[in-house]
């Protein structure tokens, strides 16, 4: 095989290899444990209904039903070790901020039934265990500022502080196969403090509760989920419901959560109470350092294609120069022999 043919064959082979690699690059379908880094951030659209507060009953704060619409920002701040029963537990330090609007009804002693509209805000710090899905400790403050319209119009300020401290459970592995489940016993101390101000009068409430529960997660099917941030390949979980940011009253129940390897967290969460959907979070945008990233085959394509193009360019230049050289040789040709022509002209 000539050098020209060898160069051409090599170029074609490289291009074919690159095309095949790009075409056969499979999407990661296996559930992967996320790897978090400071600055990882997920922004969600929040919609839900607030039926009550954990740790308080209707005689303390009245009966109400608030519909909420807002935005949730979840960000990884860093890493920290927590001490539990003399054991140092590595955790992921996460901060969550929520803002939004509320609209609903309230029935309280001294007010009666009233229409309530206003805003709410939520700020919390959580410490996730190493697997990243069971909070060991959480501290949060929710503030509701609204107008209460009944016989008269009054301002309502409701500030709730929730401190939750877990026992540091033995957490099962994150990776699960379809149909497999994981459970953990969780012992939680819940401290709830609230200040309610209506018609210029304030009162404070406080409750401390010890809660024993079983956290459970089951992995279902793989599903494609479309949300504001785009369409993602996800793994569907049915799991014990953790409190939605800004909606602490639905802590008891279950949720369907859609986890994405590329996103590193949930794409969508739907919370249920007594079988009825009461809250939903949908991913709006995200920054996740560990994903989606470039896969090995993608990197090979990015390397092979430029190499193939360079080789092709070199081959074309070489062939053009060779063609010019051959043309020059043909056009000039060897010079005629003067001696032989003279001898032929004087032949006897």
Residue-level pLDDT, tens digit, the chain, 348 residues: 455 555 455 554 544 444 444 433 334 468 888 999 999 999 999 999 876 655 555 555 567 778 999 999 999 999 998 887 777 888 899 999 999 999 988 776 666 778 889 999 999 999 887 765 677 788 889 898 988 887 778 788 888 888 888 765 566 778 888 889 988 777 777 788 888 887 677 888 887 877 777 778 899 999 999 999 999 999 999 998 877 887 766 656 889 999 999 999 999 999 998 888 889 999 999 999 987 643 333 334 445 556 556 766 666 666 777 776 666 666 555 555 544 444 444 444
CA atoms within 13 A on the CB side of 307: 14
pLDDT value, residue 197? 82
Q: What distance, in Å, lies between the first and last C-alpha atoms of the chain?
A: 54
Question: Is the model's pTM score more than 0.85?
Answer: no
Beta bridge partners of 65: 105
pLDDT value, residue 301? 45
Q: Which of 29, 17, 201 is nearest to 109 (CA)?
A: 201
CA 333 to chain centre: 73
SS (H, E, C) 146-182: EEEECCCEEEEEEEEEEEEEECCCCCCCCCCCCCCEE
Over the stretch 210-247, which tens digit does the pLDDT of each residue have? 777 777 889 999 999 999 999 999 999 999 887 788 77
Q: How far apart are CA 245 and CA 268, in angstroms?
A: 14
Task: Note whether 203 and 196 are within 8 A (CB).
Answer: yes
Q: How far apart are CA 149 and CA 69, in angstroms?
A: 20
Q: How far apart are CA 40 and CA 77, in angstroms?
A: 8
pLDDT value, residue 95? 95
The 10 Å Cβ neighbour count of residue 264 is 24
pLDDT value, residue 342? 46
Tell me the DSSP string of 266-287.
EEEEEEEETTEEEEEEEEEEEE
pLDDT value, residue 43? 97
Q: How far apart are CA 78 and CA 56, in angstroms?
A: 33
């Amino acid at each position: 095989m000539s050098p020209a043919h060898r160069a051409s064959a090599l170029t074609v082979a490289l291009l074919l290899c690159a095309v095949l690699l790009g075409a056969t690059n499979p999407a990661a379908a296996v559930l992967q444990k996320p790897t978090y880094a400071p600055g990882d951030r997920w922004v969600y659209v929040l919609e839900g209904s607030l039926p009550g507060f954990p740790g308080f009953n209707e005689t303390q704060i009245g009966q109400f039903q608030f519909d909420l619409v807002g935005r949730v920002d979840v960000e990884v701040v860093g890493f920290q070790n927590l001490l539990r029963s003399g054991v140092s537990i590595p955790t992921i330090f996460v901060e969550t901020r929520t803002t939004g609007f509320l609209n609903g009804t309230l029935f309280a002693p001294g007010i009666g039934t009233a229409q309530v509209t206003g805003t709410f805000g939520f700020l919390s710090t959580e410490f996730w265990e190493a697997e990243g899905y069971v909070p060991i400790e959480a501290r949060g403050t929710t503030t509701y500022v609204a107008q209460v319209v009944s016989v008269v119009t009054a301002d309502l300020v409701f500030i709730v502080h929730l401190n939750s401290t877990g026992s540091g459970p033995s957490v099962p592995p994150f990776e699960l196969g379809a149909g497999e489940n994981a459970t953990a016993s969780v012992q939680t101390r819940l401290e709830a403090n609230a200040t309610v101000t209506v018609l210029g009068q304030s009162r404070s409430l406080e409750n401390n509760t010890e809660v024993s529960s079983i956290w459970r997660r089951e992995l279902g099917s793989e599903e494609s989920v479309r949300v504001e941030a785009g369409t993602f390949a996800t793994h569907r979980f049915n799991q014990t419901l953790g409190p939605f940011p800004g909606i602490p009253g639905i802590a008891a129940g279950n949720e369907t959560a859609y986890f994405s390897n590329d996103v590193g967290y949930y794409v969508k969460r739907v919370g249920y109470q007594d079988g009825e959907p009461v809250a939903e979070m949908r991913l709006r945008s995200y920054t996740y350092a560990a994903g989606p990233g470039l896969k090995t085959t993608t990197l090979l394509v990015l390397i092979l294609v430029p190499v193939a193009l360079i080789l092709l360019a070199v081959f074309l230049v070489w062939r053009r120069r060779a063609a010019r050289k051959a043309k020059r040789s043909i056009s000039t040709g060897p010079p005629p022999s003067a001696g032989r022509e003279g001898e032929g002209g004087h032949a006897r």
